[in-house]
Structures are given as structure tokens and as C-alpha cells.
């Protein structure tokens, strides 16, 4: 190529940009353009359901068996947390079976270092209060996607008769006298709903959670609690009714499949112009996401009884608009992947993020790859471009890591992604699944 032509190229990172070859500090993912992903792929168990279900075992004394547990780092963190409380745990990562024995559980304090590893650690609070009448925990950590306070949890624990004192690095909670109440959530928080359900299972009388979160993972928690002997019903509108029982018993339970992993893999098909089949995908729980793929022009085929999805990508995807929200609205956890997909759709797409106030950090990284994204507060406007170009980008949270991998599969050249810690927290070897479909992706640790 002559000098003159080279100078005429747009000034965006491209395969000519040597930056990906620079030494990258720490582990990273390398992805090179991988068009036409094709094949059939299995799914892992749902991470978000698994984490809360693991904490629910605190409510029982004995040996429980959880099946379909994803071997992702957040699960390992939660195992550590339960062990710290005195539980015995054996996790077979080949069979995805986790055995937890809570007979000798005696601790009610979780060290701040463990709490900081993930936000889901706050979900020990309801079960610890139910079992021991006290809990002492650090403040939860997790993804940096907004302020993520826990005021709905605390306010409603207080209404149920729990004293909560905040110390600089510690929350100290003590049951004064548990009482069942009608609890009205000002927002259908997933975590607050789950924490309150768990405390209410062992609180005498009937507790109602009004404006509860109705995410499928909340219902997976309800399903295991019922198997343990809890009494839980639902009422219109969005009310969960819990009648306390004396005792819950250990169980053998199979966790639901991960709709977020399914969404990522189907987006990979759409993104790369491919054709992917996920026989276990819970299509009946993915309505809004699948509808948006169809609106873009992709072919979506749903299996019998709403289980199993095939996505065949269109060559000319159209722009669409999306608004995230509590289930059954478009899930915020698929927003980042969807943004990646929309970067090369024809026309202008608009994404409104209503769940978290700071969840567009991946957009800035995608612009480094040539995407045209304008973010104003909670609205991102994406103007479709012809091509993305590989460069070095940084993942700021679990779902961002996935979105950047997807963008990397579409981009010309090599994309390197650091912040792999998040990828490993959220997914069980998703890079291997993508590779099995034809993606060129390597995890360097």
C-alpha cells in the first residue's frame, strides 16, 4: 500500500495499530475476527440463581446436593464464604455437582474481604438472621455499575424486627423480635426480594412482599425453598406471600439454565452472521431479548414448550431500540451484548438503561474499536458502522467482558481484552464454548 493511501485511512484503531501487541499487564483474552459461528452448544447453570440458592442452604442443617452449578469464580467465592461460616463443601467441576453440608454451621460473620468479592454476598444476611438471629457482614462489592446501595434490604429487615447498625466497615444486624409484615418494595430489587423471602421462610405468620422482583432466578430460589419445606405463594400484582415454618430440610436440587449465557451465545450467532442452536435455552424466559433479535431481522426458531432456540443471522441487521427493566422487560444483564450487536446494525439504535445508572462503560471501549456510540446519562445512541477494528479494550464488569468479546469476534484483526477477572467471575469457560462454534479466542492467564 502506498504511503498516500495509508494516510487516507480513517484514524481508528485497526489491525495496523500495534497496540494489541504491546505487553498487557495481567491476564487477557485475545479474540480475532470469527465470522459465521455455527453449531450446537450446551448451557451452564444460571450463575445468579446459583449464588442465592447457595446462601439459602444456610437455612437448613444437613447435607444438600446442588446440580448444574456453573464452575465460575463467583461460585468459588461463595463456596469460600460458606466454608468460612463452618459449612463443608465439595464441588465436582466435571459433573457440576456441589455438595454442601451445613450441619456444623456456626458462624454469622463474613469478613469484609470476602464480602467485597461480589455483590451477591449480601444474600447471606437474610438466611443468617433466620438461622442465628444475627449477622455481621462487610459491605458487598461486585461490579462497578452504579452506586448499588442495599437500603431496600436494610429498611425491610428493620420492618421485620431486625436492628441494623452501620459501622465503618461492618453491618451489624440483630433480631429484636421477628414479625411478619406487608413489605412494599419501592423498586422490585432482585436481591432485596430474595433476602426478604429467605428471612420470612422461618418467621412465624405470613409475610407479603409487594412489588417483588419476578426474575426467573427468584422463582428458582422459591422452587428450592419449597422443596426444603417452605410455604410460598404468589398473588397479583407482583406479590410474594411467605408463611413461616418451624424448620427447613436439606435437598437435592437442579439449578435452572443460564438465560444470560444463552443470550450471549445467541448474540454471538447474530453478531458473526452465523447459525447457532442451544437445545437447553429457556426461550420462554427470554421473550423480550428474542423479540429484539427478530426485529433486527434475525431468524429465531423456538423449540417445543419454549425450550431450545436456534438463531440464524440476517446479513442485513436493522437498528432497534431497547429499554432495560425488571423482568419481563429487556434484561440489563444482556444490554452490553446487545450494544455490541447494534454497533454494526443498519441505522440508529437507542438503548435506555433504567436499572443501573452507570452501566455504559463498555460503550466507551467499543468506540475505541470504531463503534459510534453517544452516551447521555442513561441513554446510549448507536449509529451502525460497516466495520469494527481490533484494539486493546478493558472490561469493567462481567457483562461488559462478554460484550467486548462479541465485538472482538466481529472486528477486523485482533482484539485484546483485559479485566478478565470479570469474565471468569461470570462464566464457566465460555471461551471454550465459543471456540467450539468456530470462534478464534484464547484466554491468557
Query: In which order are the strands placed within the sheet that holds 63-67?
Result: 88-92, 97-101, 63-67, 252-254
Q: Which of 213, 242, 237, 210 is nearest to 225 (CA)?
A: 242
Nearest distance, CB of residue 378 and ligand UD1, angstroms: 11
Q: Applying CB under 6 A, which residues contact ligand UD1?
A: 48, 51, 119-120, 146-153, 187, 189-192, 213, 215, 217, 332-333, 355-356
Kindly list the distances between the CA atom of residue 78 and the CA atoms of 45, 84, 120, 400, in Å, as whole numbers in the listed order.
Answer: 15, 10, 9, 22
Nearest distance, CB of residue 74 and ligand UD1, angstroms: 8
Q: Nearest-5° angle of CA 141, CA 431, CA 191?
A: 30
Nearest distance, CB of residue 86 and ligand UD1, angstroms: 23
Nearer to ligand UD1 by C-beta: 173 or 388?
173
For residue 36 the three cell numbers come to 459465521
Nearest distance, CB of residue 82 and ligand UD1, angstroms: 15
Nearer to ligand UD1 by C-beta: 339 or 437?
339
Contacts of residue 429, defined as CB under 8 A and 6 or more positions apart, other chains included, come to 71
Query: At 305, is the secondary structure helix, strand, or coil?
Result: helix
Nearest distance, CB of residue 52 and ligand UD1, angstroms: 6
Nearest distance, CB of residue 331 and ligand UD1, angstroms: 6
Nearest distance, CB of residue 190 and ligand UD1, angstroms: 4
DSSP 330: B
Q: Which of 107, 111, 115, 64 is nearest to 89 (CA)?
A: 64
d(CA 112, CA 306): 42
Alpha carbon distance, N-terminus to C-terminus of the chain: 36
d(CA 166, CA 192): 18
Nearest distance, CB of residue 223 and ligand UD1, angstroms: 16
For residue 391 the three cell numbers come to 484494539
Nearer to ligand UD1 by C-beta: 191 or 419?
191
d(CA 381, CA 330): 17
Nearest residue relative to ligand UD1 (C-beta):
191
Nearer to ligand UD1 by C-beta: 145 or 342?
145
* Cβ–Cβ < 8 Å for 355, 386: no
Nearer to ligand UD1 by C-beta: 119 or 131?
119
Q: Which long-range contacts (CB under 8 A, 24 or more apart) does 167-170 make?
A: 169/112, 169/138, 169/139, 170/112, 170/136, 170/137, 170/138
Nearer to ligand UD1 by C-beta: 151 or 252?
151
Nearest distance, CB of residue 148 and ligand UD1, angstroms: 4
Nearer to ligand UD1 by C-beta: 353 or 365?
353
d(CA 211, CA 229): 24
Nearer to ligand UD1 by C-beta: 216 or 370?
216
Nearest distance, CB of residue 123 and ligand UD1, angstroms: 7
Return the beta strands (E) in 219-339 as ranges. 231-235, 239-243, 252-254, 275-278, 299-302, 309-312, 321-323
Nearer to ligand UD1 by C-beta: 153 or 368?
153
For residue 50 the three cell numbers come to 446459583
Nearer to ligand UD1 by C-beta: 187 or 444?
187
Amino acid at each position: 500500500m502506498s504511503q498516500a493511501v495509508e494516510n487516507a485511512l480513517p484514524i481508528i484503531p485497526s489491525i495496523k495499530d500495534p497496540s494489541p501487541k504491546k505487553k498487557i499487564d495481567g491476564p487477557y483474552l485475545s479474540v480475532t475476527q470469527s465470522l459465521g459461528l455455527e453449531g450446537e452448544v450446551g448451557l451452564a447453570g444460571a450463575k445468579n440463581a446459583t449464588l442465592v440458592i447457595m446462601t439459602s442452604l444456610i437455612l437448613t442443617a444437613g447435607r444438600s446436593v446442588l446440580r448444574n452449578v456453573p464452575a465460575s469464580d463467583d461460585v468459588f467465592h461463595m463456596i469460600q464464604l460458606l466454608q468460612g461460616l463452618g459449612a463443608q463443601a465439595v464441588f465436582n467441576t466435571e459433573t457440576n455437582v456441589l455438595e454442601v453440608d451445613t450441619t456444623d454451621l456456626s458462624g454469622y460473620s463474613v469478613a469484609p474481604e470476602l464480602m467485597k468479592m461480589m455483590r451477591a454476598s449480601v444474600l447471606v444476611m437474610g438466611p443468617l438472621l433466620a438461622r442465628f438471629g444475627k449477622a455481621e457482614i462487610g459491605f458487598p462489592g461486585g461490579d462497578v455499575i452504579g452506586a448499588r446501595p442495599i437500603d431496600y434490604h436494610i429498611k425491610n429487615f428493620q420492618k421485620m424486627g431486625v436492628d441494623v447498625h452501620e459501622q465503618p466497615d461492618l453491618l451489624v444486624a440483630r433480631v429484636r423480635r421477628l414479625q411478619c409484615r406487608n413489605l412494599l418494595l419501592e423498586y422490585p430489587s432482585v436481591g432485596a426480594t430474595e433476602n426478604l423471602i429467605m428471612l420470612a421462610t422461618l418467621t412465624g405468620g405470613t409475610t407479603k412482599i409487594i412489588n417483588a422482583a419476578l426474575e426467573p432466578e427468584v422463582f428458582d430460589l422459591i422452587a428450592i425453598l419449597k422443596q426444603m419445606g417452605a410455604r410460598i405463594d404468589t398473588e397479583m400484582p407482583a406479590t410474594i406471600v411467605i408463611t413461616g415454618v418451624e424448620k427447613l430440610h436439606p435437598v437435592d436440587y437442579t439449578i435452572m439454565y443460564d438465560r444470560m449465557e444463552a443470550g450471549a451465545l445467541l448474540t454471538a450467532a447474530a453478531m458473526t452472521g452465523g447459525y447457532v442452536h442451544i437445545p437447553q435455552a429457556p426461550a420462554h424466559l427470554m421473550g423480550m431479548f428474542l423479540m429484539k433479535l427478530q426485529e433486527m431481522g434475525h431468524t429465531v426458531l423456538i423449540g417445543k414448550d419454549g425450550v431450545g432456540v436456534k438463531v440464524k443471522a440476517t446479513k442485513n441487521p436493522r437498528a432497534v431500540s431497547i429499554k432495560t427493566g425488571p423482568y419481563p422487560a429487556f434484561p440489563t444483564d444482556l444490554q452490553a451484548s446487545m450494544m455490541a450487536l447494534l454497533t454494526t446494525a443498519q441505522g440508529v439504535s437507542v438503548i435506555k438503561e433504567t436499572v443501573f445508572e452507570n452501566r455504559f462503560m463498555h460503550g466507551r471501549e467499543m468506540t475505541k474499536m470504531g463503534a459510534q456510540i453517544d452516551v447521555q446519562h442513561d441513554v446510549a445512541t448507536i449509529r451502525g458502522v460497516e466495520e469494527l477494528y481490533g484494539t486493546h479494550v478493558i472490561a469493567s464488569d462481567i457483562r461488559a467482558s462478554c460484550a467486548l468479546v462479541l465485538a472482538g469476534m466481529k472486528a477486523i484483526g485482533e482484539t485484546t481484552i483485559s479485566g478478565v477477572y470479570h469474565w471468569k467471575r461470570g462464566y464457566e469457560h465460555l471461551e471454550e464454548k465459543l471456540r467450539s462454534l468456530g470462534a478464534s479466542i484464547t484466554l491468557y492467564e
